[in-house]
Chain A
Amino acid sequence: MNEETESFEQRLRRQPLRPLPTEWRREILEAASEACPVQPGEIVSRYSFLSELRRRFASVLWPHPVAWGGLAVVWALIFAVNISTQDKPANMAVKALPSPEVIGQSPEQQRLYAQLMGFQLTGSDDPSNPDRQKAIPPKPRSERIEFETKAAL
């Protein structure tokens, strides 16, 4: 760098900058303090916890925080929809109660079942009834196989 350049540079450096208006200090510091109206001590602890939490989240979500965050939101939405559409216990109890018709049919069904199982004979078991079916108590499958084998021989 030649002498002229250095001299010019020095001259530029010596130019004093415009002073900061003194009245701004109070106004700007007031605005800064109003930005956080809570007591400084409380804010420090609250913000340091939040900032720590955010820092940890950022490190977990790195290197694609937006993508991971979006995925987390989608999962949260799915979970919320799932929860909202699920039956509540009260509704389930109401649903579990049988209708009056079902209740009315119930003794009839019980009677039919007993009839089929041969526990209780009714008029329909009359030998003169052509639709009568003989109640055969169930046997173990192995016995039937043995019988069929003997018959084949």
Chain B
Amino acid sequence: MRPLGEIERLYDEHAQSIFAFLLNFTRDEHDTRDLLQEIFVKIAREPHLLENVRNERAYLIRLARNAAIDFIRRRDTRDRSRENVAVEQVSIFAKTSDPDEATFRKELSVALADLPEEQGTVAYLKLWEGLTFEEIAEILEISPNTAASRYRYALDKLRERLRPLYKEITNRTQ
């Protein structure tokens, strides 16, 4: 096990990013908490996981992605066995008192959730994690060109969907 201080450091430095990344996948705060805990317990149990890792953030995001994909599969199976599951999706963005901003964030969050998983992940990592295409490619085990093209597709879809709202807000603020 890593000493608890080391786990604390990892948590303080990376938990916020992993949380938002996971929330983008699950759209459920309770599920996100469970997954976040699962990841830190895993790190505590298996100290060798982070040995010789150059980019801790990238590695943790990869762990989070794998855990989230497994979780989504389990949840889909579980939800299929139940009927008419209607859970309200949680926004990955912070709340705001500005109504225009609140509307934009809500629409953006929904549009992001509607993207195919591979495009949404690349868009999230590029826009809100500020990673390069090379770093994204390493995390997702794809080529940088593929990462770049997925990003372009994602951005086009988001812009297309949010254009009316975006123009309205932009015109109002000008």
Contact = CB atoms under 8 A, between A and B. Distances in A.
Interface of A: 5, 8-9, 11-13, 15-21, 24-25, 27-29, 31-33, 35-36, 38, 40-41, 43-44, 47-48, 51, 55
Interface of B is mostly: helix
B57 interface: no
B89 interface: no
Interface residues of B, number: 41
Contacts of A8: 155, 158-159, 162, 166
- Of residues B4, B95, B130, B158, which shows the largest number of chain A Cβ atoms within 10 Å of its Cβ? B4
Contact of A32 (B4, B29, B92): B4
- Of residues A5, A24, A38, A41, which shows the largest number of chain B Cβ atoms within 10 Å of its Cβ? A24
Interface of B: 1-4, 7-8, 11, 15-16, 19-20, 23, 29, 33, 36-37, 40-41, 43-45, 47-48, 51, 90-95, 104-105, 108, 127-128, 130, 155, 158-159, 162, 166
Nearest to B158: A12
A5 B154 CA distance: 12
Contact of B92 (A18, A21, A40): A18
